[in-house]
Amino acid sequence: MITFDHTTKTYEGGVTAVNNVDFTVEEGSIVVLLGPSGCGKTTLLRMVNRLESITDGRIIIDGQNSMELNQIELRRKIGYVIQSNGLFPNMTIEENVMIVPDLLGWSKKEKRDRFHTLMELIGLNPKEYRKRYPHELSGGQQQRIGVVRALAADPPVMLMDEPFGALDPIIREKIQEEFLQIQREVKKTILFVSHDIDEAIKMADKIVLLRGGEIMQFDTPSEMLAHPKNDFVVQFFGKDRAIRSLSLHTVKDLQDNIGLVDFDETIHDTKTININQDLRNTLSMLMNQEADQVIVTDNNDHKLGAVTIDLVQKYLHFEIKGKPAASQKG
């Protein structure tokens, strides 16, 4: 758990980058720091592992004041991933990944075993990659190595500063999913910086939306989309707010709340969609086909009913309590 307690940072030139910030990252959850460039995300993150000093207030990590942790404790407790992966070009992949365990004095065998486990997590063959150098890997692979390097000594806390920001969109989505999969197993307490709305919605248990170093709203993605607290939040998420919120809900959610409609067997070329798919995908399917329904199937490919555009809209009204999607001007 990480708690920010009236945390403030004023740089020497007089810029207050973080202003009186209060929130908690619960154990095993992901909080995404979101906001425009210069709003203080990186500063806030770097105060946690003491790369920046704190001007006022405190940061408490698992019950301990961050200022009281020594260098070894900081390394053991906190993994750090940055956008430009930070791999050392003259060190092999294994040496790079094992930097912190090395500093902590792990044995050769412990390090070798750990390296194998970590490489398997990201689907890279440990034997094949051990002796390679960073430049021999693709951008996506390098970034994966950056992530497992931060996980190497199994720290309870991870700080991630736009870790996937330099990757192209398709690889980025893949790595986001892979990382969420890993997180389901390792359950780290994660503070994750992003300026990308879709990434934040996808990764976050809760989002801290910042402007000028101040918190505009601290909420779950669906609450923030459904109930923005002020004009800044409304404007930040823009007119796609309703559509974006669809990615947080599955066809199953829709079925549970308002039910499916009967499917029409006579319509040819009707596509099918698995009930666990999200509604954003469902809607885009509906909009990219002739037929006005998509048949919903369960995991055994049994047909359960159908979804229509009307039904998705009805669900959206239900979700964004009484605010019709069409009247949202963003």
Ligand X SMILES: Nc1ncnc2c1ncn2[C@@H]1O[C@H](COP(=O)(O)OP(=O)(O)O)[C@@H](O)[C@H]1O
Chain residues binding ligand X by CB under 6 A are 11, 13, 15, 17, 37-43
Q: Output 210 or 225, the one with its CB closest to Mg ion.
A: 210
The DSSP element (H or E) to which 158 belongs, if any, is strand 157-161
Three-state secondary structure of 218-253? EECHHHHHHCCCCHHHHHHHCCCHHHHHHCCCEHHH
Query: Which listed option, Mg ion, ligand X, none, makes contact with residue 78 (CB within 5 to 8 Å by class)?
Result: none
Q: Output 19 or 142, the one with its CB closest to ligand X.
A: 19
Q: How far is the CB of 213 from ligand X (least distance, A)?
A: 7
Does 194 participate in binding Mg ion (rule CB under 5 A)?
A: no
Query: Which listed option, Mg ion, ligand X, none, makes contact with residue 279 (CB within 5 to 8 Å by class)?
Result: none
Question: What is the DSSP code string of 55-104?
Answer: SEEEEEETTEEGGG--HHHHHHHEEEEETT----TTS-HHHHHTHHHHHT
Taking Cα atoms as reference points, which of 210, 239, 209 lies closest to residue 223?
A: 209
Whole-angstrom Cα distance, residue 330 to residue 326?
10
Classify 303 as helix, strand or coil: strand
Whole-angstrom Cα distance, residue 122 to residue 139?
14
Whole-angstrom Cα distance, residue 281 to residue 317?
18
Specify the DSSP class assigned to residue 260.
P
Query: Which listed option, Mg ion, ligand X, none, makes contact with residue 39 (CB within 5 to 8 Å by class)?
Result: ligand X
**Displacement of CA 262 from its chain's centroid (Å):** 36
Q: Output 42 or 189, the one with its CB closest to Mg ion.
A: 42
Query: Which listed option, Mg ion, ligand X, none, makes contact with residue 318 (CB within 5 to 8 Å by class)?
Result: none
Query: Which listed option, Mg ion, ligand X, none, makes contact with residue 37 (CB within 5 to 8 Å by class)?
Result: ligand X
Whole-angstrom Cα distance, residue 197 to residue 7?
25
Q: How far is the CB of 4 from Mg ion (least distance, A)?
A: 17
Q: Output 40 or 101, the one with its CB closest to Mg ion.
A: 40
Query: Which listed option, Mg ion, ligand X, none, makes contact with residue 40 (CB within 5 to 8 Å by class)?
Result: ligand X
Count of C-beta atoms within a 10 Å radius of residue 59: 20
Q: Output 134 or 213, the one with its CB closest to ligand X.
A: 213
- Quick note: the x/- pattern for Mg ion over 42-81, rule CB under 5 A, is x---------------------------------------
CB-closest chain residue to Mg ion: 42
Q: Please give the size of the binding site for Mg ion, defined by CB under 5 A.
A: 1
Whole-angstrom Cα distance, residue 82 to residue 287?
38
Q: Output 39 or 160, the one with its CB closest to ligand X.
A: 39
Residues 208-237 contacting Mg ion, CB under 5 A = none
- Evaluate whether 200 touches 233 at the Cβ level (below 8 Å): no
Distances from the Cα of 169 to the Cαs of 123, 173, 249, in angstroms?
A: 20, 6, 22
- Quick note: the x/- pattern for Mg ion over 10-49, rule CB under 5 A, is --------------------------------x-------
Query: Which listed option, ligand X, Mg ion, none, makes contact with residue 141 (CB within 5 to 8 Å by class)?
Result: none
Q: Output 2 or 248, the one with its CB closest to ligand X.
A: 2
Q: Output 42 or 176, the one with its CB closest to Mg ion.
A: 42
Torsion over CA: 11, 17, 23, 29 (sign): negative
268 token code pair: 């040819």
Binding region for Mg ion (CB under 5 A): 42
